[in-house]
Amino acid sequence: MAIIVDTDTRLVVSGLTGREGSFHGLRNRDYGTEVVAGVTPGKGGQDVEGIPVYETIAEAVEQRGANTSMIFVPARFAAAAIEEAIEAGVRTAIVITEGIPVYDMLGVYWKAKDAGVRLVGPNCPGVLSPGKANVGIIPAQFFDPGGIGVVSKSGTLTYQIGNELKQAGVGNSTIVGIGGDPIIGSDFIDVLNLFEEDDETEMIVMVGEIGGDAEERAADFIAEQVSKPVVAYIAGFTAPPGKQMGHAGAIISGSSGTAEAKREALEARDVRVGRSPTETAQLAAEAIAARA
Partner 1 sequence: MDLLEYQGKELFARHGIPVPDGRHADSVPAAVEAAEAVGYPCVVKAQVRIGKRGKAGGIKIANDRAEATRHAEAILRLEIRGFKVHEVWVERASKIDAEYYASIVLDRSEKKPLAMLSRMGGMDVEEVAEQDPAALVRRHIEPGEEFTADAARQIAIDARIDEDVTEQVAGLLVQLHGVAQAEDATLIEVNPLIVTSDRKVIALDSKVTIDNNALFRHEDLAQLRDLSAEDPQERLAKARGVTYVKLGGDIGILGNGAGLCMATLDVVAQAGGSPANFLDAGGGSKAEAIVDALEVITSDDKVTTILFNIFGGITRCDEIAKGIIEAFRRMNIGVPLVVRLDGTNSEEGLGLLSHADLADLHVEKTMLGAAKRVVEIANG
Strand partners, 272: 231
163 contacts partner 1 (rule: CB under 8 A): yes
CA atoms within a 13 Å half-sphere pointing along the CA-CB vector of 115: 22
182 contacts partner 1 (rule: CB under 8 A): yes
Q: Is 24 annotated in the active site?
A: no
The residue from 19, 156, 240, 247 that is catalytic is 247
Cβ neighbours of residue 140 closer than 8 Å, sequence gap 6 or more: 31, 128, 130, 134
194 contacts partner 1 (rule: CB under 8 A): no
Residue 81 CA to residue 87 CA, distance in Å, equals: 10
237 contacts partner 1 (rule: CB under 8 A): yes
240 contacts partner 1 (rule: CB under 8 A): yes
Q: Running DSSP on this structure, what letter comes out for residue 39? A: E
Angle at 187 between CA 186 and CA 191, to 5 degrees: 75
Helix, strand, coil fractions of the chain, as percent rounded to 5: 40, 25, 40
Among 3-11, 59-67, 83-91, 97-105, the segment contacting partner 1 (CB under 8 A): 97-105
278 contacts partner 1 (rule: CB under 8 A): yes
Q: Measured from the CB atom, is 61 or 138 closer to partner 1?
A: 138
Q: Measured from the CB atom, is 252 or 290 closer to partner 1?
A: 252
214 contacts partner 1 (rule: CB under 8 A): yes
Residue 25 CA to residue 22 CA, distance in Å, equals: 5
State the number of binding residues for partner 1 (CB under 8 A): 59
Backbone φ, ψ for residue 33 (5° rounding): -70, 140
Backbone φ, ψ for residue 12 (5° rounding): -115, 130
107 contacts partner 1 (rule: CB under 8 A): yes
Q: How many residues does the chain have?
A: 292
Q: 260, 270, 275, 291: which one contacts partner 1 (CB under 8 A)?
A: 275
User: Which positions are catalytic?
Assistant: 247
What does the binding site for partner 1 look like in residue numbers (CB under 8 A)?
75-76, 99-103, 106-107, 109-110, 137-139, 141-142, 152-160, 163, 180, 182-183, 207, 209-210, 212-214, 217, 233, 235-240, 243-253, 259, 275-278
